[in-house]
Structure 1
Amino acid sequence: SDSEILLNIFASELDNFRHYPLEADSIFAAVAATNRLIRGAYACVAMIIGHGMVAFRDPNGIRPLVLGKRDLGDGRSEYMVASESVALDTLGFEFLRDVAPGEAVYITEKGQLFTRQCADNPVSNPCLFEYVYFARPDSFIDKISVYSARVNMGTKLGEKIAREWDDLDIDVVIPIPETSCDIALEIARILDKPYRQGFVKNRYVGRTFIMPGQQLRRKSVRRKLNANRAEFRDKNVLLVDDSIVRGTTSEQIIEMAREAGAKKVYLASAAPDIRFPNVYGVDMPT
């Protein structure tokens, strides 16, 4: 995998330093060399045996990384890094800050914290899909609430629908679970229409968007969602999704809504048009 390639590059750069144990300067130099060799999206956490933990974020800050702290009660503290702030909340760590684009964090086995900027020209270019799809709603990424971002998407989309749809003939607003639920609820509020959970989600099926192959994605949509016929029968429904990338999921879900008895099916997407390929690790069409 690409993660293993990155690991091997970082390990090779560490191996250039023959002295042992490694000093913080050497570890940061290895991170800096890795950043120069790799172009892409990554937020990495690694254990260096006999030394401690190192974490670093790509120079464009495409993927999120946060730093937290927890007091042990005896004058000592321990640190934690994670891709989302919700992990800190769950384990009782205080959120300190986002790791900056291109920055590295080194925590020794004794709990000492070292940080350093390891990129020549770091620029913040976070991935929009963290807010649209990937992240949990109770997380903060780069000081922005994911939940608030999604509610704002619903506000903007709801206002646009109300402004541009003169003969609004929908009976119910239904989210395509699970990311779009907060978005759809806000749209229903603005349009003054009922909000209903029309699909039941099978939580044992993974994310269909990132599954390899169109055929597998098509089958997985049917396994993942089941329509609640009572919410569709003889109704004009507005389905709300977080985004439309390939249209595979949307096509299947619209068909399911019709099979469940919907008279008319409208589809609204909270995210802007996906116009270009993503070459940094998210499988989007070219």
Structure 2
Amino acid sequence: MNTRQLRTLLAVREHGSVHAAAAALFLSPSAVSQQLRSLATACGFSVVERDGRGIRLTARGLEMAALGDELIRRWDSTVDSLRRTAAEPVERPARAVRLGALPSAYRTWLFPVVHRLRTRGRLAFELFETAPHEAYEEVEAGRLDLAVVVRPPGPRATSLTSHPLYRDPFVLVVPRALGGTAPSLRGLADAGWVLPGRETHCHEVIVRHCARLGFRPRAAARSNDWQAMQEMALLLGAVAVVPASCLAPRDGLAAVELSPAERFEWRIELTTRASATAMPWFTAFDREVSRLSFEDRLSARSAA
């Protein structure tokens, strides 16, 4: 049993369905179901049961949720207290700052930041690739010190603080062989699409946007690597939308800025526990990041 399972149970108690709990936790429905099954196995009894189209907690599940409330409150309070009273261990070079980030952030600007902080600031780092739905949970649980993530909808945990970094607009990539100087997303509704994996936040962002435009894209290929998606689009004569920061110009593939009516983006932010913002390592990291001009970098990449 772990705090992740208990937080999942509490979300189901509050929202009354797997899908609503998944949205609140920034997880996939299958991940929520897996957490509930793991908790039931650890406890030796069912913690949820069907209730019409939704689910509800069993009598024992409600007792477990009440215990979970108390345990998580004590966990968060104790971790915050221990961190506040620590004698600034992060100032020692041996202390590794645990940093999570999107692959696109690492590739475009974050590696140089880490390099400068390691050589000039004598900070040590442990680097992790994190999916958007994982990052907040990992920071809140203390497994990461900070993360560069996609800002999700809705409120975050009160123990976290976030700093906006930049907006990353999505760009349509189309094989030039398809013709047309300014194709629209709606006009490509019947085309083959290269999409991210079904269980990813990236897939959800793209599919939801297409649904608002009145269609569901048909997958001709799938990849969780934005650059591989562009290679697949070129190879298969398919189309894709990718963040502007991940564009990789290729012969035979056109990058098209979306019209205002079809434009969408995601917002990239830096998140950490509120108690960490007073730490010297965070001050050094935030200062280094603030020197970068993200909008200029994205505009240059989009125009390439």
Q: One fold, TM greater than 0.5?
A: no
Compute the TM-score of the two structures, normalised by the length of structure 2. 0.27
Compute the TM-score of the two structures, normalised by the length of structure 1. 0.28
Q: Report which structure shows greater RCO (CA 8 Å, sep ≥6).
A: 2
Going by fraction, where is helix more abundant, 1 or 2?
2
